[in-house]
Amino acid sequence: MTLQVRLSHRFVGFALDVDFQTPPGLTVLFGPSGSGKTTVVNAVAGLLRPDSGRIRVGDWLLLDSAARHALPPHRRRLGYVFQEGRLFPHLSVRQNLLYGRWFAPRGASGPDLSRVVDLLGIGPLLDRRPGALSGGERSRVAIGRALLAAPRLILADEPLAALDEARKAEILPYFERLRDEGGVPILYVSHATTEVARLATTVVALRAGRVVAVGPPGQVLGDAGAMGSETASVLSARVAVHDDDGLTRLETAGGAVFVARLDALAGTRLRLRVGSRDVILSRTRPEGISALNVLQGHIVDIAPEDGPNVQVSLALGPDRLTARITRRSATHMSLAPGQPCHAILKAVAVAPEDMGLALPSGQGTGP
Ligand SMILES: Nc1ncnc2c1ncn2[C@@H]1O[C@H](COP(=O)(O)OP(=O)(O)OP(=O)(O)O)[C@@H](O)[C@H]1O
């Protein structure tokens, strides 16, 4: 189900003008603080009546200001996942889940309780109260409650922001499952590039109330116009073998990448996120260095930035890897499009691409 959002709204000192359309799956609204993410979510939720706009999920029309059509919030069929879950403390997990169902319209075809419980692995928690759950467990129950309302769209506004890294790692696979098996489009607000790389089907990058890029994460994270100095690349990889010394060897189109041992079967597909500042370039194959991860490709583009840096894009098979290096280095090395080039990766983050198998998150190796 596609999501179409066109909105114009003025606050004193801030103007929102966005127009985007995204395919089924998980759409991340991504941007710095004050870029307008919450304003978009509030307009989708019906909590803000924009000056003008049109919002549609598949053929379900939430807002069309030209036709004076605006569904009230409780009739929009949205599921909400907030920070910290916001569960009812006096109800058991089972009762909290069933509460979500109250909001499903009569006759709506939503998932049944047992399917949601399986999807989120919360069977053992059903008789507990929220006070006896960890933050990650509470988040899983909150996702379940949202799903049981048989929503047409799930809104998740920085759902992991209040969790520490370990809890984030625990909950991310469940959002991946929701994306891949839930069958409901998700609009997910985040300003964390790791969540974008790992979860997004599509990224909508906002800056100062405008859309600066829309596309798959590999494309948007590498776009300096959208990301400034925080550009990153997303590479496809496949688990090859687990070595005896605690490393897992992954195959990419540019060569092998070694990461701390992953709990995943050989053949599992993954996404790797590599920050552009974590890539060193070399015209010749480097020898005598500690870095294990040296990929080979060829230069396809050298884009100047404001300031002393350039972004060099390498083609590794169908993937693009971006390195942010100084203009001085690029000149000194006489880099030019078409040349073969080696990329030394200082850090790599791993995310599974499909959720057949759960993996620990954010695993990586240093140089
Ligand atoms: N009700 C309001 N009245 C006036 N200005 C507002 C109102 N709500 C938001 N703004 C302004 O609109 C701009 C965008 O705010 P918004 O909350 O949408 O940004 P955001 O990207 O969600 O930021 P954050 O990541 O910090 O939550 C900000 O400059 C904010 O001050």
Q: What is the pLDDT of residues 97-154, one digit of tens each?
A: 988 777 677 777 777 889 889 888 899 999 999 999 988 888 889 989 988 888 999 9
37 CB near ligand 1 (under 6 Å): yes
Q: Per CATH, which fold does 232-352 belong to?
A: OB fold (Dihydrolipoamide Acetyltransferase, E2P) (2.40.50)
Query: Domains of the chain: which residue ranges?
Result: 3-221, 232-352
The identity of residue 288, as a single letter, is G
Which one, of 31, 9, 33, lies nearest residue 19 by Cα? 9
190 CB near ligand 1 (under 6 Å): no
**Which residue among 9, 33, 207 is best mutated to probe the pocket of ligand 1, counting the most ligand atoms within 8 A of its Cβ?**
33
Please name the residue whose Cα sits nearest to atom 3 of ligand 1. Answer: 11
Q: What is the pLDDT of residue 352?
A: 58
**Which residue among 7, 9, 14 is best mutated to probe the pocket of ligand 1, counting the most ligand atoms within 8 A of its Cβ?**
14
Does position 365 have pLDDT exceeding 60, yes or no? Answer: no
Query: Against a cut of 0.90, is the pTM above it?
Result: no
Burial grade of 175 (CB within 10 A; 0-12, 13-18, 19 or more) = buried
CA-to-CA separations, 84 to 28, 131, 192, 199, 348, in angstroms, rounded: 19, 12, 17, 19, 29
With contact defined as beta carbons under 8 Å apart, do 253 and 272 qualify? no
Region of poorest pLDDT, from 44-58, 107-121, 271-285, 351-365: 351-365
**187-196: average pLDDT:** 88
Distance between Cα 176 and ligand 1 center (Å):
28
50 CB near ligand 1 (under 6 Å): no
Distance between Cα 70 and ligand 1 center (Å):
22
Enter the CATH code of domain 3-221: 3.40.50.300
38 CB near ligand 1 (under 6 Å): yes
Does position 361 have pLDDT exceeding 50, yes or no? Answer: no
Ligand 1 atom with least separation from CA of 191: 25
**Which residue among 18, 28, 35 is best mutated to probe the pocket of ligand 1, counting the most ligand atoms within 8 A of its Cβ?**
35
Please name the residue whose Cα sits nearest to atom 6 of ligand 1. Answer: 11
Question: In 3-state terms, what secondary structure has residue 147?
Answer: helix
Distance between Cα 11 and ligand 1 center (Å):
9
Distance between Cα 36 and ligand 1 center (Å):
6
In this prediction, residue 353 has a pLDDT band, given cuts at 50, 70 and 90, of low
Ligand 1 atom with least separation from CA of 209: 14
Which one, of 49, 39, 55, 51, lies nearest residue 208 by Cα? 39
47 CB near ligand 1 (under 6 Å): no
Q: What is the pLDDT of residue 172?
A: 85
231 CB near ligand 1 (under 6 Å): no
**357 contact partners, CB below 8 Å, separation of at least 6:** 264, 265, 268
Please name the residue whose Cα sits nearest to atom 29 of ligand 1. Answer: 34
